[in-house]
Each structure stands twice: as structure tokens, then as C-alpha cells.
């Protein structure tokens, strides 16, 4: 089970909370909201338990007070379960960072025949594959990358895939696209757009701290642990790759991904504030 929780920044009596499931509307760019059981008239409790959560799903917390209810605020959340997913996004080539001239394919897989791929760049707005690529069946093809962005798939039945952060650059760090499990072996490498092989003097950094600066051209971690989680980048001959986040997971984790407003941005560590309502956490019961 997963508990969703909304918190009013300046709590007082009279607040009621309304809970919805978010379902993509493939006919347009919007979502529809399905009221969850038991919240028709709102709940006095600022938390709501979702039972049997085994896949990625979108939820909305709505808060207000008074008769009639006013000062309504909408707060969107994503609850991401790391059980074997019923839907997934795969990237080809299978890496986080790509050269700006690369062609990249994003494929949606799951129990649905209709999918859409969404993107949320660091410096722009939420958009669909048709705005910057070509959607063929359940695959979005991109001919070039000019900025960092988060990508994910949505189905008309309400499925959301894992989200993937993809970066375009002229020097890239070769790192895992998806979270790695504790105990696994991981290899990080550095590559130039020219294709020239790097023979030495490759520096690797974790959270801006130098962790390897010898003649090896790869950073090999034989058995990853939570201490290896963080931002990684590489340097060579005065050039530097962008940073990429490597997540280290246990067997089961739950990740809260939240955003403010009516759109949903499944990007970890985004926290927003609307009308004084703030989402705090999702935790595993």
C-alpha cells in the first residue's frame, strides 16, 4: 500500500481533501481525473491510502475549505513503484547522455495499444513527441537532441512508464539509463563526438568530487552501494561531459515525484507550492 499525503502550509480547521487518479486523454494534451473511493465529499484527513499499488500511476490531491468550498488548490503527484513494471520506456541507444546529432528512439511497452510520449525540458514546457519528433506506433523517433529533458510514456488506460532523463552534448558520460541494484557491477565511460578513443587522463567526478584520475579510461564499480548514488561526470583535455544522476536501489523502493499545477511532470526532486498547499511525501506501508 502507498499513503499519499497533502499538507497545508498554514494549517487551520475546516480544510477538506479530495483525491483523484490521473488518466491521460490521448485525444488531446490533457488529463481526466477520476475521484478515488471515499473522497466524494472530501476527507478531513490529509492523507489517503492506495491499496494494491504495483505500477506507476498519477494522483491528484485537491484541497479547499468553506461552504461552498473555495480556495481550492490542485496538487499533482506521481507515485512510482519499483515492482516489476506493467509499463516501461526503453531508450535506444541505451544510455542517458547522447551526442547532439544522435538519432534516439523511445519505445513504450506495456498492456496498451495506444501510447503518447511526453517531454519536459529544463528550459521549456511540457510537450508531446509530435512537437519535436515522429511517433510511429508506440515508438517516438528523435533526429537530434539540443537540451536536457525528462521523457516518459502515457497510455489511455492510465498507465505511466518510468521517466528517463536524456541529455544532448558533444562530450558524453556513458552511464546507466535506469536505477542499478545494490551489489551490481557498473562501468562508467567517457566518449567524444569525434569518435576518437580516449587513452588516458580521463577524470571522473561524483558530486563534483574527484574519484578517479589515473590512466584508466573507465570508472568501474564492482559492487554498488547507496554511497555510490549521486551525480557523475567526466573530464578529458579540458572538455567536460554533463552530469548524470545514478540511482542505486534496494529490492523495493517507492519514489515520490511531485509537481505544482494542472500538468504532471514526473521528475524526481521537483517540489512546488500552490495556494498554500504543499505535498510532503509518499511512503511504503
Measured in whole angstroms, the distance separating CA 66 from the mean position of its chain's CA atoms is: 36
pLDDT at 255: 38
Quickly tell me which residue has 523517433 as its cell. 141
Instruction: Identify whether residues 32 and 9 lie together within a single domain.
Output: yes
Name the domain count of the chain.
3
Q: Which of 112, 134, 169 is the last residue of a domain?
A: 169
- Residue 285, pLDDT > 80, answer no
Bridge partners (DSSP) listed for residue 277: 8, 274
Instruction: Identify whether residues 89 and 50 lie together within a single domain.
Output: no
Structural domain for 222, as ranges:
171-250
pLDDT at 260: 36
Instruction: Identify whether residues 120 and 91 lie together within a single domain.
Output: yes
Instruction: Identify whether residues 204 and 186 lie together within a single domain.
Output: yes
Instruction: Identify whether residues 109 and 144 lie together within a single domain.
Output: yes
Q: Which of 152, 169, 186 is the last residue of a domain?
A: 169
Instruction: Identify whether residues 142 and 200 lie together within a single domain.
Output: no
Q: Do 204 and 188 touch, CB atoms closer than 8 A? A: yes
pLDDT at 262: 37
pLDDT band at 176 (very low <50, low <70, confident <90, very high): confident
Q: What is the pLDDT of residues 190-224, one digit of tens each?
A: 988 877 777 778 999 999 999 999 888 899 999 99
pTM beyond 0.75, yes or no:
no
State which of 39-48, 96-105, 179-188 shows the largest mean pLDDT: 179-188
Residue 159 CB: number of other CB atoms within 10 A? 23
Q: Which of 169, 193, 228 is the last residue of a domain?
A: 169
Instruction: Identify whether residues 155 and 183 lie together within a single domain.
Output: no
Instruction: Identify whether residues 202 and 246 lie together within a single domain.
Output: yes
pLDDT band at 30 (very low <50, low <70, confident <90, very high): confident
Which has the higher per-residue pLDDT, 155 or 8? 155
pLDDT at 271: 30
Residue 99: CB partners within 8 Å, gap ≥ 6?
145, 168, 169, 170, 172, 193
pLDDT at 68: 62
Percent of the chain with pLDDT over 70: 78
Instruction: Identify whether residues 178 and 223 lie together within a single domain.
Output: yes
Instruction: Identify whether residues 59 and 101 lie together within a single domain.
Output: no
pLDDT at 229: 95
Q: Do 49 and 2 touch, CB atoms closer than 8 A? A: yes
Instruction: Identify whether residues 165 and 178 lie together within a single domain.
Output: no
Which has the higher per-residue pLDDT, 125 or 153? 153
Quickly tell me which residue has 513494471 as its cell. 85
- Residue 281, pLDDT > 60, answer no
What would the mean pLDDT of 125-154 be, rounded to a whole number?
Answer: 89
pLDDT at 160: 83
SS3 129: helix
pLDDT band at 65 (very low <50, low <70, confident <90, very high): confident
Instruction: Identify whether residues 64 and 130 lie together within a single domain.
Output: no
- Residue 2, pLDDT > 80, answer no
- Residue 264, pLDDT > 50, answer no
CATH code assigned at 112? 2.60.40.10
Amino acid at each position: 500500500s502507498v499513503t499519499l499525503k497533502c499538507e497545508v502550509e498554514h494549517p487551520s480547521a475546516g480544510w477538506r481533501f479530495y483525491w483523484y487518479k490521473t488518466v491521460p486523454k490521448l485525444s488531446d494534451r490533457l488529463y481526466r481525473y477520476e475521484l478515488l473511493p471515499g473522497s466524494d465529499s472530501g476527507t478531513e484527513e490529509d492523507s489517503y491510502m492506495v491499496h494494491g499499488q504495483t505500477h506507476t500511476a498519477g494522483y491528484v490531491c485537491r484541497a479547499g475549505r468553506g461552504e461552498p468550498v473555495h480556495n481550492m488548490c490542485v496538487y499533482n503527484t506521481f507515485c512510482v513503484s519499483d515492482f516489476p513494471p506493467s509499463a516501461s520506456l526503453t531508450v535506444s541507444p541505451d544510455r542517458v547522455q547522447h551526442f547532439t546529432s544522435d538519432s534516439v528512439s523511445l519505445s513504450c511497452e506495456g498492456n496498451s495499444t495506444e501510447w503518447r510520449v511526453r517531454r519536459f525540458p529544463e528550459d521549456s514546457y511540457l510537450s508531446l513527441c509530435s512537437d519535436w519528433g515522429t511517433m510511429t506506433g508506440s515508438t517516438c523517433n528523435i533526429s537530434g537532441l539540443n537540451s536536457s529533458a525528462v521523457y516518459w510514456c502515457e497510455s489511455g488506460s492510465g498507465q505511466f512508464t518510468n521517466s528517463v532523463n536524456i541529455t544532448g552534448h558533444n562530450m558524453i558520460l556513458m552511464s546507466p539509463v535506469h536505477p542499478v541494484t545494490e551489489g551490481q557491477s557498473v562501468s562508467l565511460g567517457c566518449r567524444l563526438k569525434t569518435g576518437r578513443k580516449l587513452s588516458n587522463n580521463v577524470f571522473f567526478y561524483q558530486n563534483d568530487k574527484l574519484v578517479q584520475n589515473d590512466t584508466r579510461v573507465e570508472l568501474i564499480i564492482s559492487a554498488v552501494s547507496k554511497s555510490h548514488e549521486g551525480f557523475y561526470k567526466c573530464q578529458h583535455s579540458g572538455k567536460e561531459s554533463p552530469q548524470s544522476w545514478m540511482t542505486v536501489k534496494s529490492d523495493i523502493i517507492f519514489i515520490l515525484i511531485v509537481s505544482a499545477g494542472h500538468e504532471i511532470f514526473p521528475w524526481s526532486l521537483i517540489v512546488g507550492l500552490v495556494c498554500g498547499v504543499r505535498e510532503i511525501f509518499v511512503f511504503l506501508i
